[in-house]
Amino acid sequence: MEKINAVITGIGGYVPDYILNNEELSRMVDTSDEWITTRVGIKERRILTEEGLGSSYMARKAAKQLLQKTGVDVDTIDCVIVASTTPDYRFPSNASIVIGKLGIKNAHGFDVSCACCGFLYTVDMACAFVQSGRYKRVMVIACEKMSSMVDYQDRQTCVLFGDGAAAVMVEATTEEGVGFQDSFLRTDGQGLPFLHMKAGGSVCPASHYTVDHRMHYIYQEGRTVYKYAVTSMSNDVKEIMQRNNLTEADVNWVIPHEANLRIIEAVTKRLDIPMDKVMINIERYGNTSAASIALALWDFEKKLKKGDNIILTAFGAGFVHGASFLKWGYDPQ
C-alpha cells in the first residue's frame, strides 16, 4: 500500500482595508514611529472596523479566495478546522459559521484555540487526519480580530497587533517528496501569569467591575515573553532540523510567527540562518496571532517552488510552541 502524504495544495488570504499606522497610534498613546519601529519592527497593521463583523467574516473571505484559486468543490471537503483566539462568540464555533455561510454540506468542523501557535497546531492536526486515511481534503483557516481585545490606551500592547485571516487546503497525495514531513510541538503550561486576558472566562465572568477596570484586554509581561519566545523557537527549529538531518543550506525558507522583528532576528541568529531565507511581513500586518504564519505563506506564495524545504515555527500564550518541516507541494500559478 502506498504511503499517504498530506500536502498543502492552495492558500487564500484576507486583510481588512483599514490601515492603522504608527503615526495614527502616536496620536492615541505616548509613542512614536521611531519607538515602535526600533522595538518591534512594525509600521502598520490592518484593522477590521466595520460594525457587526468578527473574525469569521475574514475567515470566509480567505476561504472563498482559496476555493476560487484551487477550484475545489465544497461538497468534497471532509473537515473544516478554524484556529482563532478571537472567535465571533463563545459558542457556536467559527467553523460552524464558516461551513454554513459557504454552503459546505459534507464536512464537520471545529475551532482550535492555541493562541499564536494556532495555525501550526491546526495544520498538524489536519495532516494527521489525512495521513491516517480518514479524510482526503481538510480546509484549515486561521483568523484573528486582535483589535477586539487590544487596549488602545496601553502603549506596550496596542502597537503590536493587527487583524487578518488565511486559509489552506490540506489534501492526500501518494506523490513522494512533497508534503508535511515532521512536527515538534510542545505545551509548557507555565505561561498563564505572563500572557492572558484577565476577565471574560469562567474564572472571572464579565461584569460591571471587569469592564470598569479594563480587564477584557490583552495582558502581557513583554520581557518574559520575549525571552521565552527566542529560546523556544530557536530550540524547536534546531530539534526539527536535527531529527530530519537538515543543515542550514538545506533549508529554503523559515516562516516564523510574526510577533516581533527583534525576536525573529534573535532566533535566526541563533540558528545561523540568513535573514534572506526568512519570510517576514510584520512591518505591514503586525502580530496577527494564529493567522500570522498562514498570512506569510499567502503573502510570499509566489516565491515558493515545488520541493522547497520549509520550516514553520511559533510560540504563544500558555506557553505553547513548536516547529514543523514540510516540502512545498506546488509551483504557484
DSSP 5-33: EEEEEEEEEE--SEEEEHHHHHTTSS--H
Contact predicate 203/290, CB 8 Å: no
Burial label for 191, CB within 10 Å (0-12, 13-18, 19+), is: buried
Q: Given the residues 235, 287, 309, 321, select the one marked as catalytic.
A: 287
- 133 — alpha (psi -120 to 50), left (phi > 0) or beta? left
Q: Can you give the pLDDT at residue 65?
A: 98
Query: For this structure, is 216 an active site residue?
Result: no
Query: For this structure, is 116 an active site residue?
Result: yes
Residue found under cell 502524504: 5
What whole-number distance in Å separates Cα of residue 305 and Cα of residue 312? 16
Is residue 167's pLDDT more than 90? yes
Claim: this prediction has a pTM higher than 0.85: yes
Mean pLDDT of 3-10: 97
Mean pLDDT of 209-214: 98
Q: Given the residues 257, 260, 281, 309, select the one marked as catalytic.
A: 257
Contact predicate 8/326, CB 8 Å: yes
Residue 133: all three cell numbers together: 486515511
Between CA 188 and CA 192, with CA 191 as vertex, the angle to 5 degrees is: 130
Q: Given the residues 114, 116, 127, 143, select the one marked as catalytic.
A: 116
Q: Can you give the pLDDT at residue 327?
A: 98
Which of these, 217, 288, 314, 259, lies nearest to 48 by C-alpha position? 288
Which of these, 78, 135, 138, 132, lies nearest to 108 by C-alpha position? 78
Query: For this structure, is 257 an active site residue?
Result: yes
* Residues 6+ positions from 242 with CB-CB distance below 8 Å: none
Radius of gyration of the chain (CA): 19
pLDDT 10s digits, 248-287: 999 999 999 999 999 999 999 999 999 999 999 999 999 9
CA 323 to chain centre: 13
Contact predicate 257/118, CB 8 Å: no
pLDDT 10s digits, 102-139: 999 999 999 999 999 999 999 999 999 999 999 999 99
Averaged confidence pLDDT in the chain: 97
Residue found under cell 459558542: 91
Q: What percent of the chain has pLDDT over 70?
A: 100
Partner residues linked to 20 by β-bridges: 45
Is residue 40's pLDDT more than 90? yes
What whole-number distance in Å separates Cα of residue 98 and Cα of residue 92? 11
Residue 255: all three cell numbers together: 516562516
Is residue 2's pLDDT more than 90? no
Q: 1 or 140, which is more confident?
A: 140
